[in-house]
Amino acid sequence: MRSKIQSAQARQRSTAAIKAAALELFAQKGYHHTSVSDIAREAGISKGLMYNYFSSKEELLTAIVNDAISDGEQILAILEDPALDPEAVLLDLIRQSVEMIKSNVHYWKLITSLAFQTDAMKSVEPLLKKQRESNIKMAVALFERMGSQTPLEDALLFGATMDGIFVYFMMLEDEFPVDHIVNHFIQKYFTSKQQRS
């Protein structure tokens, strides 16, 4: 039993090392210019052993994208509870999203750089499209509950603004006052009239 647990933990560590190495290389060299041999070397394992974990570079890319989606889904789960106050949900979503980015800026920089490699992302586009549609649907429902007359437009504007804040923060880090900007964003658009007065 103990050896099974140790074996599973070792496999988990190796998988994480491969993903981390691949993400770094995809960001530095580009997806198409990164070989399986490059990834194995960076991860400190043999090329043959790497195929025990991932059958192809495409499968590895899909695993990396799935991890990023999973991180986001943990935060977005709060949108699915109709019993919660929609404004409180939105504020919590903003704050949790910012903390997620701040806690691992390097990782999210790499993920973002990967997102701009359109040739690489073709293979995972169906997965990303499904996720985008789900996120927009949940955000629209939230804005509807908040009484918005234009819930789709508000959801899209909200998402684009948050993405813009994150990109500026990832580019400038300490030079960009992310907490101050997020608080300003909340005060300007998302605190209720009762809270403002």
pLDDT of 116-173, one tens digit each? 888 888 889 998 999 999 999 999 999 999 999 999 999 999 999 999 999 999 999 9
Which residues are within 8 A (CB) of 63 and not within 5 positions of it... i.e. 6 or more apart? 15, 19, 54
Q: Cα–Cα distance between 61 and 112 in angstroms, integer?
A: 13
- CA torsion through residues 72, 77, 82, 83, sign: negative
Token pair recorded at residue 84? 């919660």
**Amino acid 195: pLDDT:** 45
Query: At residue 126, what are phi and psi to the nearest 5 degrees?
Result: -60, -40
H or E element in which residue 54 lies: none
User: CB count, 10 Å around CB of 135?
Assistant: 17
Please tell me whether the overall predicted TM-score, pTM, comes out greater than 0.75 for this model: yes
Residue 89: which H helix or E strand, with range?
helix 86-103
